[in-house]
Amino acid sequence: SQANIGVVGLAVMGSNLARNLASREGNTVAVFNRSRSKTDELVAAHPEAEFVPAFTYDEFAASLAKPRTAIIMVKAGAGTDAVIDALVDVFEPGDIIVDGGNALFTDTIRREKAVRATGINFVGAGISGGEEGALTGPSIMPGGSDESWVTLGPILRSIAAVAEGEPCVTHVGHDGAGHFVKMVHNGIEYADMQLIAEAYDLIRRGTGKSPAEIADVFAEWNRGELESYLIEITAEVLRQTDAATGQPLVDVIVDQAGAKGTGAWTVQTALNLGTPVSGIAEAVFARSLSSHPEQRSVAGALPGPVEALTVDDADAFIEDVRLALYASKIVAYSQGFDEIRAGAAEYDWSIDLGAIAKIWRGGCIIRAQFLNRISDAYAATPELAVLMTAPYFVEALGRAQGAWRRIVSTAAGAGIPAPAFASSLAYYDGLRADRLPAALIQGQRDFFGAHTYKRIDREGTFHTLWSGDRTEVEAEDTH
Ligand code: 6PG
């Protein structure tokens, strides 16, 4: 029988996605893996699923109805290029190749251009939700052409998570737009995780509560405005006891955070775009700092504060931490969405930011009730230059800022690192400032490099003759 969709790469994510596809009405799924055994295992383990196993690329192509549509689920990198080349050899113009891995969006732009030249469609699709999401319903962020979306849309809608009745998939934009948005999703994921970790650390050090007791705090928070998958799983992790030692599991896990690169890409890209995603950057750097034991071994050599942290009212302190977390989270999402806007402008994608917030409400790692507030904000003001200036967020930040400031100063005073809390607050105050000391930086740049400056009271570009008589002259604009 002919399949309407194929999956190449049957490691955990690929097999789960293939099973998800096969479980939906109307889909027959061709499956192919470089080594035959994975294909045999998948088919044998799931007799209920309508799989069409293929053992060569030719068989795979022959098993697919036209336009042939295949999703590549291999580890991002050179392997992806090899699979694309093999599919291009056996596919025809009008067919569709989807890369469902965590590819760097610039690779996707390059691949889309090369594949398009053959008449075949290439779609980079971000897929979030981990192994379970792939099986039961991920959030999907596809880029690629409008033509490919006609065929792909119904298939992806059939397997995506559903949030408030709507499938968590939308055609994000052309070529690399989908992978760009997935990258920023991961950047926000890093920030959210770091903020939660800082909140946990402050509560633990401030109140002496055990991880299991702090799990209760997070479970409680998960019933309010912080409700989200990451808060929910935080409670689960904190409640876990290590079978071998009887200790809280979190106390026996080595405190060095890993990373596979998507967070760093988000920050590198933001640097290139000139978009400040400082909270996300702090989260990436906090993982780096944790993972350098040779640097951390100097700990004892660096003096700390004289006064230890004292918390008189534990409940009030915990509420302050909650508000600081909420405010910092708003900043992280605001920065992430600003980066998507900047990326869309740079790469000429038309991205509906409200639709992105909606497809993140289900299936993905950062799924949260809170995302409704973001789609509301963009529905009211599509051109919103800074997400957190939407009325709902302004109100929330106003309500939280006192607590946020207390927590950041308490952490600094007690020598507890809270980089993402602190940097988010600094960003907030930076945006609020009437005047920034950037004026002084312009003066310094003009002093040592004649880089010129603008004046607040007159049009034009100016330079002071610093090494001469220090009079001001009109100058060429050099930025
Ligand atoms: C998702 C996740 C996933 C990511 C992991 C690991 O949306 O399902 O973002 O794509 O690869 O979370 O990321 P790190 O290893 O970099 O933490």
Q: Above pLDDT 90, what percent of the chain?
A: 96
Instruction: Verify whether ligand 1 is closer than 6 Å to residue 181 (CB atom).
Output: no
Q: Ligand 1 centroid vs 98 CA: distance in angstroms?
A: 19
pLDDT value at residue 159: 97
Q: Per-residue pLDDT for 308 more than 90?
A: no
pLDDT digits (tens, 9 = 90+) for 442-470: 999 999 999 999 999 999 999 999 999 99
- 365 alpha carbon to ligand 1 midpoint, in Å? 8
| Tokens standing for residue 209 | 């509560």
- Find the catalytic residue in 48, 66, 132, 189: 189
The answer to whether residues 94 and 100 touch, using CB atoms and an 8 Å cutoff, is no
How far, in Å, CA of 15 to CA of 135, rounded? 8
| Alpha-carbon 270 to chain mean position | 12
Residues 6+ apart with CB under 8 A from 184: 266, 336, 337, 339, 340, 343
**ipTM of this complex prediction, to 2 decimal places:** 0.96
Atom number in ligand 1 closest to CA 102: 10
Confidence category of residue 476, pLDDT binned at 50, 70, 90 = confident
Instruction: Give the CB-side neighbour count of residue 96, counting CA atoms within 13 A.
Output: 29
Comparing CA positions, the residue from 364, 333, 54 lying closest to residue 184 is 333
Ligand 1 contact via 248 beta carbon (within 6 Å)? no
Sign of CA dihedral 314, 388, 169, 68: negative
The angle at the Cα of 447, spanning 441 to 448, to the nearest 5 degrees, equals 100
C-alpha–C-alpha distance, residues 242 and 419, integer Å:
29
Determine whether 112 is an active site residue. Answer: no
pLDDT computed for residue 296 by the predictor: 94
Residue 250: name the closest of 295, 200, 300 by CA: 200
3 state DSSP class of 160:
coil
Among the listed residues 318, 327, 145, 302, the one whose alpha carbon sits nearest the alpha carbon of residue 226: 327
* Each residue's pLDDT tens digit, 200-246: 999 999 999 999 999 999 999 999 999 999 999 999 999 999 999 99
Atom 14 of ligand 1 has which residue's CA nearest to it?
Answer: 259
Q: Identify the residue whose C-alpha is closest to ligand 1 atom 2.
A: 128
CB of 364 shorter than 6 A to ligand 1 = yes
* Ligand 1 pocket check for 365: Cβ under 6 Å: yes
SS3 content of the chain, % helix, strand, coil (to 5): 55, 10, 35
Q: What spacing in Å lies between the alpha carbon of 364 and ligand 1's midpoint?
A: 10
What's the token pair of residue 113?
């251009």
Q: In the Cβ-directed half-sphere of 187, how many Cα atoms lie within 13 Å? A: 31
The pLDDT of residue 307 is 86
The 10s digit of each residue's pLDDT in 254-263 is 999 999 999 9
- Environment class of 281 (CB within 10 Å of its CB; exposed 0-12, middle 13-18, buried 19+): buried
Nearest residue (by CA) to ligand 1, atom 5, is 130
Q: Pick from 365, 366, 367 the residue to mutate for probing ligand 1's pocket: most ligand atoms within 8 Å of its CB.
A: 365
Average of pLDDT values for 272-301?
A: 96
| Pairwise CA distance, residues 367 & 183, whole Å | 15
Query: Catalytic annotation on 41?
Result: no
Burial class of residue 443, CB neighbours in 10 A (0-12, 13-18, 19+): middle
Dist. CA 84–CA 72, nearest whole Å: 8
Centre of ligand 1 from the C-alpha of residue 281, in Å: 16
Q: What is the pLDDT of residues 136-184, one digit of tens each?
A: 999 999 999 999 999 999 999 999 999 999 999 999 999 999 999 999 9
Q: Which atom of ligand 1 is nearest to the CA of 139?
A: 7
* Ligand 1 near 259 CB (within 6 A): yes
Residue-level pLDDT at 478: 67
From the candidates 182, 209, 329, 358, which is the catalytic residue?
182
For residue 133, the ligand 1 atom closest to its alpha carbon is 8
For residue 366, give the ligand 1 atom closest to its CA. 7
Cα–ligand 1 centroid distance for 186 (angstroms): 6
**What is the Cα–Cα distance from 452 to 443, expressed in whole angstroms?**
8
Return the half-sphere exposure (C-beta side, CA atoms, 13 A cut-off) of residue 432: 12
Question: Is-contact 335 184, C-beta < 8 A?
Answer: no
Mean pLDDT for the chain? 97
| Whether 378 contacts 384, CB under 8 Å | yes
| Residues 18-23, mean pLDDT to the nearest whole number | 97
Give the distance (Å) from ligand 1 centre to CA of residue 258.
10
In a mutational test of the pocket of ligand 1, which residue from 189, 228, 233, 285 has the highest number of ligand atoms less than 8 Å from its CB?
189
Name the DSSP letter for residue 142. Answer: E
Residue 479 has pLDDT above 70, yes or no: no
Instruction: Verify whether ligand 1 is closer than 6 Å to residue 75 (CB atom).
Output: no
pLDDT digits (tens, 9 = 90+) for 69-114: 999 999 999 999 999 999 999 999 999 999 999 999 999 999 999 9
Sole residue written with tokens 């903020």: 195
Atom of ligand 1 nearest to the CA of 260: 16
User: 130 CB under 6 A from ligand 1?
Assistant: yes
Number of H helices, E strands in the chain: 20, 11
Phi, psi of 97 (to 5 degrees): -110, 125
